[in-house]
Structure 1
């Protein structure tokens, strides 16, 4: 097990990991070290065949307040080359959650600002506490509203017009609006958030790991498919691959025998 200093990882249910951003005194603002630990977490989860779902949430009353302002203050002192190298590394560490084969759920328990918004967008599913709110805080500190994947993900979720307005203004989107516009799929009371996330995670882990990985892949590929034919070719490929797995044979046998399948990820 990896020893984290900015994250806390728990396993409250079999095959489900919950990773808490663990700087509650700073509303879980991201440090350069936390970016590194995001990448380490992804490696740990992906290399563990017994972990089928990852939940991301925050300790305390915030999800993630974005980049820690003390660290943001050091950015202008970097050379352009240093900043580009760092920026590319940070972008990889956040977008890495989307690239994982393991499904990722963001349980947004409070403010998700700037890089916190980016982190939520990198998850496959977002649910929110009624106390959650979202904003592209980058524009509030003199940066572009497109950072760590926001300019790619937000228009695909909300449409170009709505995403543009949110990214240009940096205004807050509260939980009820987030649900209405499709930024999140569910809103619940703060005390119920983790239970709701675990409920969704348990439904996902009941499916075959290979099937879930292929589903993530086909969604992410076909959202930008150039044509129906291109999309169908990926779907057809994936279905052929899935029929070669032991897990599909197990799923069919379990369905016929009216029992819970025992998936091996093979």
Structure 2
């Protein structure tokens, strides 16, 4: 019986959980799983959820690209190149669609996050992992490059240039303890405590309101690419003026007894 490659759990107030559901493949992405993941993001983006958690079923978070599809080539090299170009660009949207989602996304890394799984975790706004998690830039080990779905952009920003080069050029595994120490994740828990910790974080974020949370996420990502401090402050100023115009500041200040 075929199973859904991606499960969506919206039973938690204000928080939606996306669970990759190919445990027999350590939740590696094939074409159907990518399409199901995108469909889940589209649905959640239109929902009233205030925060999102991404995790994996079973003992893996995401083992990246399912290598059982690696032999899908034809005899015509031009047609093959065109096919793989389209496929690569489609897969790379795993990261850009996460960034475009209005809700903050928390990676709850329960196991191996390898290759595109590392990119998926990096594409989330926050990352927690269990003490069973491990990370690597896997494609360098199978004849490809480690520059894949945003890893070469996001990893140096998370751990620094030298550590990123070392991870990407060696493809070695980084365990949970090291991931926490170098800033790849901001918290490490035991296996049983991972989802409760992720839900607690998501619920804390959800308490702050949707519009101001969305503008904070959008502003953070935009200012990571800002050309100057002045440009970053200009964006911040506009965001604050926009929020002040909603009357939200006065309402919340009164509700909390400041006025």
- Mean alpha-carbon deviation: is it higher for 171-180 or for 236-245? 236-245
With the length of structure 1 as denominator, give the TM-score of the two structures: 0.91
- Structure 1: state its 5+ residue gaps: 259-266
Residues 72 and 251 of structure 1, relative CA distance in 2, 3 Å threshold: farther
Q: Partner of 1:261 in structure 2? A: none
Deviations 1:202-242 (A, max 9, x none): 10000011111111111111112221111110100110111
Matches within 5 A, 1:237-256: 237-256=238-257
Q: Partner of 2:167 in structure 1? A: 166
With the length of structure 2 as denominator, give the TM-score of the two structures: 0.93
Does the aligned pair in 1 maintain the 2:94–2:120 contact within 8 Å? no
Deviations 1:51-99 (A, max 9, x none): 1111000001110111111112325776111211111111113321122
1:126 to 2:110 alignment? no
Deviations 1:34-60 (A, max 9, x none): 111221111111101x21111000001
1:40 to 2:7 alignment? no
Q: Partner of 1:229 in structure 2? A: 230
CA distance in 2, matches of 1:73, 1:134: 25
1:194 to 2:195 alignment? yes
Deviations 1:171-191 (A, max 9, x none): 000000000000000000001
Q: Partner of 1:10 in structure 2? A: 9
- Mean alpha-carbon deviation: is it higher for 221-230 or for 104-113? 221-230
CA distance in 1, matches of 2:142, 2:126: 28
Q: Partner of 2:136 in structure 1? A: 135
CA distance in 2, matches of 1:52, 1:102: 6
Does the aligned pair in 2 maintain the 1:65–1:116 contact within 8 Å? yes
Structure 1 SS opposite 2:222: helix
Residues 155 and 76 of structure 1, relative CA distance in 2, 3 Å threshold: farther
Structure 2 SS opposite 1:30: coil
Structure 1 SS opposite 2:106: strand
- Structure 2: state its 5+ residue gaps: none
Does the aligned pair in 2 maintain the 1:218–1:234 contact within 8 Å? yes
- Mean alpha-carbon deviation: is it higher for 9-18 or for 127-136? 9-18
CA distance in 2, matches of 1:130, 1:98: 26
Structure 2 SS opposite 1:79: helix
Does the aligned pair in 1 maintain the 2:136–2:167 contact within 8 Å? yes
CA distance in 2, matches of 1:95, 1:139: 22
CA distance in 2, matches of 1:37, 1:252: 42
Does the aligned pair in 1 maintain the 2:50–2:209 contact within 8 Å? no
CA distance in 2, matches of 1:156, 1:165: 14
- Mean alpha-carbon deviation: is it higher for 91-100 or for 210-219? 91-100
CA distance in 1, matches of 2:73, 2:210: 40
Structure 1 SS opposite 2:257: helix
Q: Partner of 1:57 in structure 2? A: 55
Structure 2 SS opposite 1:256: coil
